[in-house]
Amino acid sequence: MNSNILNVLEKPLFDNAIVNFEKRSHGPYSATNLNNNDEIRIPIQQQDTYTAPYYSLLYIRGRLCKADGTVSATAKFDRMGILLLFDEIRYELNGIPVDRSRNPGLTTIMKNYVSISQNESLKLENAGWIISDHFTDAEGNFDVCIPLRICMGFGEDFQKIIVNLRQELVLIRGSTDTNAIVGVAGDDEGLRVQLQSVSWKVPHVSVADAERLKLLKYIDRNVELAVPFRSWELHEYPLLTETRTHTWSIKTSSQLEKPRFIIFGFQVARKNKIDKAMSQFDHCNLTNFKVFLNSDSYPYDNLNVDFSKNCYAILYDMYAQFQHSYYQKDSEPFLTTYTYKYMAPLVVVDCSCQNEVLKSGTVDIRLEFGTNDNIPKETAAYCLIIHDRIVYYNPLTSIVRTY
């Protein structure tokens, strides 16, 4: 029994540090440059404000139609189809890139498959996560609110305010809309997505006088503020050779960007194919998979999976344990064992616990994997690396330092 129940004289405490917290819309420099291959740059011009990017979202309105303006009866958006329209999303502080997500649609899809639960997926229906015939109306109109926290690592991990610094969100529209749409083969020639408006809704925070005085005193000390987060970096192997064993040397990472998790998946002839969903992955009869960080391998044992005999329990367990290791919470997987096999048989490798030798120098990241049969034609491999990153900024001098 807690003895605190006897403290009848305890006074109530009220948190009045924040006096106002409201989302304000910020639009791009040009409201008309929203077409294919355009750069959409959305600034927050006010530098003497406190903003909370973690709670911000992208609000996008548009229309899915044919070239002649009519609506297709068979076409609909794929999962996270709106983000699949873009080649890159980048967040900048004072003109310095802090975090970026290349191919943000596929990056978000892979990250969400391992991160969210069934209940969370319902909330993300408003962001276009759930494939639905009702996403657009009879005229093809749609709108979405996409939280920044599902688009990039900075948006998910950094949950503090940004103080007195110019910010910009940069979106680069892709050259084609085909990957964002699921329909009948041959329809893609006449389909297009017209973006009517793109805005960034960012909470502006007003604090009480006492808290403002504390912040001003801290700023006057001319100290740097840290922005730590885990960045998501997607790598693509566009065309695998038709063999059974493969080695993929991805990159050399510095000690300041230690790889913590590797998420890997195959896609067979899905890119730029309107009759194939970019949000789904293929197992390609995978038998074994290893990540090498210099000479250390993860996982230590061979997997010895066999999808043809329905033996992939160890892969599903690795997938299901991600939330516990990444968020320190009880895992609630979005995919069942059945949907995992046929929708997203992703390989999730936890390499967050590393040898001290790896932490003192550069790290060569290499993948080795094998399959029962030769890799099919037009098979692409995707590897999402989640690694540490830290940025420093000085709110007094507006200097931003990245490593």
| Residue 358: pLDDT band with limits 50, 70, 90 | very low
Which tens digit of pLDDT belongs to each residue from 289-345? 999 988 888 998 888 999 999 999 999 999 999 999 999 999 999 999 999 999 999
CA atoms within 13 A on the CB side of 402: 15
Mean pLDDT of the chain: 90
Provide the sign of the torsion angle of the four alpha carbons 63, 65, 68, 71, taken in this order: negative
Cis peptide before 97 (omega within 30 of 0): no
* Radius of gyration, CA atoms only, the chain: 23
Distance CA 379, CA 286 (A): 13
Distance CA 173, CA 40 (A): 8
Residue 354 reports pLDDT greater than 70: yes
State the DSSP code for 313: H
Distance CA 159, CA 168 (A): 17
| Residue 188: pLDDT band with limits 50, 70, 90 | low
Helical ranges in 37-166 per DSSP H: 104-115, 118-123, 153-157
Between residues 323 and 11, the one the model is more confident about: 323
Percentage of the residues of the chain whose pLDDT score is greater than 90? 67
- Structural domains in the chain? 18-226 (2.70.9.10), 227-390 (2.70.9)
| Residue 209: pLDDT band with limits 50, 70, 90 | confident
Buried b (16+ CB within 10 A) or exposed e, 119-130: eeeeebeebbbe
